[in-house]
Structure 1
Amino acid sequence: MTALAKDGAARPVETPAVPSFREATRLWAKIGLLSFGGPAGQIALMHKELVEERRWIGEERFLHALNYCMLLPGPEAQQLAVYIGWLLHRTAGGLVAGLLFVLPGALVMLGLSSFYMLYNDAPVVEALFFGVKAAVLAVVVEAVIRIGKRALRNRAMVAIAVAAFLAIYVLKLPFPLIVLAAGLIGWIGSRFAPGLFSGSAHGKGGADADRRGVVDQMFERGELGHTLPSRWHAVRTIAIWLPLWLGPVAIIALIAGPASVWAQLGGFFSLMAVVTFGGAYAVLAYVAQAAVTSFGWLSPGEMVDGLGLAETTPGPLILVLQFVGFTAAYRHAGFASPLLAGSLGSLLTLWVTFVPCFFWIFLGAPYIEQLRQNKALAAALGAITAAVVGVIMNLALWFALHVVFGKVASVGWGVEVPVLSSLDWRAALLSAAAMVAMFRLKLGMLPTLAGSALAGLALLAL
């Protein structure tokens, strides 16, 4: 491998040494503590640390792993960490990378959930969360724009995004069906219209794509034997991870009863781990409707509050599900104290949400490594990412209706529209200010959340 020096002469580009397990553990801990900003920020942080600075993995392999994780249900950033950890240090590396990505944020989220349930009725706390809701709306709108710029690169991708939005908002089609249809369209499109469907939605590596990473060096030396699936790989992985994932859910259902909140949490979020494709924001669109409307675990405003809490913690944005589990168990404590029940509900939700993430990676990654140059797979992933933009648009609209308006009404086909007379001018003003702060002033997410919370306190004081 060569590169040009300043004088134009060719010089070799050296690949760094293979990191030790301890060195990798320190880096995964650092990423877990600093991974604020939602999936995009977390992926950018990993790219900076792993590709640009340390070159433990090359650009091409990084994007290939990210494409696969985008295809999976669950949080793509955490799954990407598991994938890269597995590439470097086998199963132990994947476990350490995934756990350290989640644990710091999970501990913080547990504390914030307890504080919220104990003190959310206090006027000061209520005013702070009033401002946070407005900022969360701006964050979700920013996610639509950011992902849309990357994914909607031509008219075919725009059409898929619009169709996905109409399918979930107007027709109320199940999210897994939308993802499946988008992937099928991308796969077929790569054959009949490759100009519209070829390539990845995540961008191209450019000049840096030619730089070798540690993983490439290990592959050339034949040190990545664990990435080659054996005859019994799938059977062995399923035999280990499926009981580990679903065993506790079955035991809890037997002890507490199928109608208990524990069985509901275990069953519902286990289902989410299977059907919620497209990343954290897509998961939220699905969970928000079920947790609020079907189960009645919390109100729309509390769901937005939970997202605001998750936005302020490191780790996957999907930790908002931990807040949902805590709230549901806190309000249906039964035999335990509310705080103990909430903590157990939080732990159960974390278990059934993240254990499957390890399962998907350890099961599928060896096969995906064999498909690194498959153009049809890349086209299907690009179409799915475009559909996710439409799904997040639905989430943004859902938040806007419940943040800016006090009441919504259902019209034909169950479509929700705002009751204009219920407009909350303070919420609308704060949401507009938060969008100006993020889009025009380029303030980060955390400063915008903090400023909106203080502004909410000032407005309600007036």
Structure 2
Amino acid sequence: MKKKSADNPVNSLAPPTITFLSACLFWLKLGFISFGGPAGQIAVMHQELVERKRWISERRFLHALNYCMLLPGPEAQQLATYLGWLMHRTWGGIIAGLFFILPSLFLLIFLSWLYIRFGHIAEVAAVLYGIKPAVTAIVLFAAHRISTRALKNGVMWIIAGASFLAIFALNLPFPLIVLVAALVGAIGSRFAPEKFATGGGHNASQKSYGSAVIDDHTPIPEHAKFRWSHLIIIVLVGLILWGSVVGFLCWQYGWNHTFTQISWFFTKAALLTFGGAYAVLPYVYQGTVEHYHWLSATQMMDGLALGETTPGPLIMIVTFVGFLSGWSQLPLGDDAALLGATIAACLATYFTFLPSFVFILAGGPLVESTQGNLKFTAPLTAITAAVVGVILNLAVFFAWHIFWPTGSNGTPDYAALLIFVAALLALLRYKVGVIPVIAACASVGLLLTFIKPWLTQQGLVF
């Protein structure tokens, strides 16, 4: 009997071949349990696929993750799509990506309807009151987490600070900030390449958990070998899937109709938002609240609160935004408000995630074939630094509207401020998970509803 070494306590024998059914069941399970944002979802995939099931080695997992980190869109969903594709070809990737988001899609459509119908009830409003300061703390915590990975030197700090001032003080649009950051990265890489080099982060760990089905030296599967014909076909199919829906909407309703504008706007959001879900939020806010006026700032914050409490990628907040946009604009008329809102939610989700599937299915073979460091990453490194400043602006915006709900001349909401401080302390100092923090803050908000009359009588109301 072979002994287990101290360095490699797991069985050195490779696990059995991964069947398509077992993979589908895992991706479906992941869609229901993937709480905790991108970091939590990636951690769950690593624990299940690398450590426990040993379907893929640590090195191959990180290689895939680093590619997904460079793309616009939700990195955790893209990673699931990539691993599903690597195991079971194109349909494996499609199933993995769809199962990762479908449970959240149906749940958020249902919660959005409940929000419209019952959001004005005192108890529901109280729960949301407690969650909003927690969401502000979570956004600030996200900025901190990304900054530890992205701001490795003074140049990155300057880019982050400049992006914050650009969007906070000058109110410049998010795509312009991304473009300028990319140009700075491209130019800077020529004169100071060491300042724009990627490193650390997800490459820091190179552990081994034993032999895997797809191991470090497993030959590249036939379907994962790069072919120009495959790349062209995937891109063409992606364009057809995008263009056919947009073309139908234009033909049926016209370019200025709510359905068509939602499709176009969330296509841009999917292509322009590097840095994960929190980078998407400022752009979505600028477009849906300030430009189109599809929903209010308060509703946007409530949507983020719901997005934090449901499984799936945080970017699924676009489902809530799409639903409320359809509800407020009534694209199918008063008699079909629910149907119009549901279609709008599905359109927002479809156009947000479609590019992610194209990026993975088209670019995956190239990444697998190179099996080396990705080139031309300096612009993306600068964009990631700029995203830190943009997310910080989002946290400031939320804090302003939550802590000073009546404006700068009003009295601060001290209760909300205390909930925020406690939530931030729990996240930063005590490493409490996102879901427990939200649950605790929601309970505090509900408790305040019952004790507020007594506090008012005692003259102790906040």
Mark yes or no: TM-score above 0.5: yes
Q: Report the secondary structure of 2:202's partner residue.
A: coil
Moved more, 430-439 or 83-92: 430-439
Q: Which residue of 2 aligns with 1:121?
A: 120
Give, in angstroms, the shift of residue 22 of structure 1.
Answer: 1.3
Give, in angstroms, the shift of residue 380 of structure 1: 4.7
Q: 1:242 aligns with which of 239, 242, 246?
A: 239
**Letter of the 1:283 counterpart:** V
Once the two structures are superposed, residues 75-97 of structure 1 have per-residue CA deviations (whole angstroms, 9 ceiling, x without a partner) of: 11101111111111110110111
Change (3 A) 1:189 1:15: farther
Cα–Cα, structure 1 residues 377 and 314, in superposed 2: closer, same or farther, change >3 Å? same
Q: Sort the Cα spacing of 1:391 and 1:52 in 2 relative to 1 into closer, same or farther, 3 A.
A: farther
Distance (Å, rounded) in 2 between the aligned partners of 1:195 and 1:182? 17
The DSSP-based 3-state class of the residue aligned with 2:87 is helix
Partner of 2:418: 429
1:83 aligns with 2:82: yes
Change (3 A) 1:216 1:174: farther
Q: Which amino acid aligns with 2:5?
A: A
Are the counterparts in 1 of residues 324 and 341 from structure 2 also a CA contact under 8 Å? yes
Offset at 1:108? 1.1
Residues 254-279 of structure 1, C-alpha deviations (whole Å, 9 max, x = no match): 21232222122112112212222221
The residue identity in structure 2 corresponding to 1:87 is: L
Q: In 2, are the aligned partners of 1:176 and 1:277 still within 8 Å (CA)?
A: no
> After the TM superposition, which residues 33-432 of structure 1 pair with which residues of structure 2 at under 5 Å, given as runs?
33-186=32-185, 189=188, 192-208=191-207, 213-216=212-215, 220-222=218-220, 224-333=221-330, 334-335=332-333, 336-374=335-373, 376-407=375-406, 419-432=408-421
For residues 9 and 397 of structure 1, do their structure 2 counterparts lie closer, same or farther at Cα, with a shift above 3 Å needed? Answer: closer
Change over 3 Å in CA distance of 1:142–1:80 after alignment to 2:
same
- Is residue 447 of structure 1 aligned with residue 436 of structure 2? yes
SS at match of 2:282: helix
What CA RMSD, in Å, does the superposition of the two structures yield over aligned residues? 2.8
Query: 1:337 aligns to what SS in structure 2?
Result: helix
- 1:164, 1:264 → 2: CA distance? 27
Query: How much does 1:455 deviate?
Result: 1.5
In structure 1, C-alpha distance between the alignment counterparts of 2:381 and 2:12, rounded to whole Å: 32
Contact 1:246 1:352 in 2 (8 A): no
Q: Is the 1:36–1:314 contact (alpha carbons within 8 Å) kept by the matching residues of 2? A: yes
Q: For 1:18-33, what aligned pairs fall within 5 Å after superposition? A: 18-33=17-32
Contact persistence 1:36–1:42 (CA under 8 A): yes
1-side partners of 2:154 and 2:125: how far apart?
44
User: Does the CA contact (< 8 Å) of 1:184 and 1:380 recur in 2?
Assistant: yes
CA contact (8 A) 1:162 1:390 kept: yes
Letter in 2 for 1:330: W
Q: CA deviation at 1:143?
A: 1.0
Rounded Cα–Cα distance in structure 1 between residues aligned with 2:223 and 2:292: 43
Q: Which has the higher mean CA deviation after the structures are superposed, 300-309 or 382-391?
A: 382-391
Matching of residue 5 in structure 1 with residue 5 in structure 2? yes
Tell me how far apart the structure 2 counterparts of residues 62 and 111 of structure 1 sit (CA, whole Å).
34
Range that drifts further, 60-69 or 189-198: 189-198
Q: Deviations over 1:127-177 (max 9, x none)?
A: 211111111111111111222222223333323322332233234344334
Q: Residues of 1 paired with 2:40 and 2:186: CA distance?
A: 29
By how many angstroms is 1:30 displaced? Answer: 1.9
**DSSP 3-state at the match of 2:346:** helix
Deviation at 1:342, TM superposition (A): 1.4
* Residue 420 of structure 1, CA deviation: 4.8
Aligned residue for 1:313, secondary structure, equals coil
Q: Which moved more, 1:101-110 or 1:373-382?
A: 373-382
Question: Do the aligned partners of residues 11 and 78 (structure 1) sit closer, same or farther apart at CA in structure 2, a change above 3 Å counting?
Answer: closer
| Distance (whole Å) between structure 1 residues aligned to residue 393 and residue 137 of structure 2 | 14
CA contact (8 A) 2:225 2:365 kept: yes
Number of positions where the alignment pairs a residue of Structure 1 with one of Structure 2: 448
Q: Secondary structure at the match of 1:319?
A: helix
Alpha-carbon distance between aligned partners in 2 of 1:28 and 1:12, rounded to the nearest angstrom: 24
Once the two structures are TM-superposed, the CA of residue 49 in structure 1 deviates from its matched residue by: 1.4
* Matches of 1:175 and 1:57, distance apart in 2: 37
Q: 1:258 to 1:188 in 2, by over 3 A?
A: closer
Give 1:207 deviation, angstroms. Answer: 4.2
CA distance in structure 2 between the aligned counterparts of 1:375 and 1:237, rounded to whole angstroms:
21
C-alpha distance in 2 between matches for 1:291 and 1:325? 9
Separation in 1, partners of 2:249, 2:176: 30
Match of 2:459 in 1: none
Q: For residues 210 and 169 of structure 2, what CA distance do their matches in structure 1 show? A: 46
Aligned equivalents of 2:378, 2:214: Cα separation in 1: 25
Question: Offset at 1:66?
Answer: 1.9
Q: What displacement does 1:210 show?
A: 9.4
- Change beyond 3 A, Cα 1:178–1:210: farther
Change (3 A) 1:173 1:56: farther
Distance 2:189 2:256 in 1: 46
CA distance in 1, matches of 2:253, 2:205: 55
Structure 1 residue 379: deviation in Å? 4.7
Going from structure 1 to structure 2, the CA distance change for 1:21 and 1:11 (only over 3 Å counts) comes to closer
Once the 2 structures are TM-superposed, how far is the Cα of residue 285 of structure 1 from its aligned partner? 0.9
Indicate how the Cα distance of structure 1 residues 282 and 206 shifts in structure 2: closer, same or farther if over 3 A, else same: closer
| SS of residue paired to 2:371 | coil
Residues 375 and 265 of structure 1: is their aligned pair in 2 closer, same or farther, counting only changes over 3 Å? Answer: closer
Q: Which moved more, 1:341-350 or 1:206-215?
A: 206-215
2: CA distance, partners of 1:205 / 1:54: 22
Q: Using the TM superposition, give the Cα deviation of residue 391 of structure 1 relative to its aligned residue in structure 2, in angstroms.
A: 1.9
Counterpart amino acid of 1:404? Answer: F
Structure 1, unaligned runs of 5 or more:
409-418
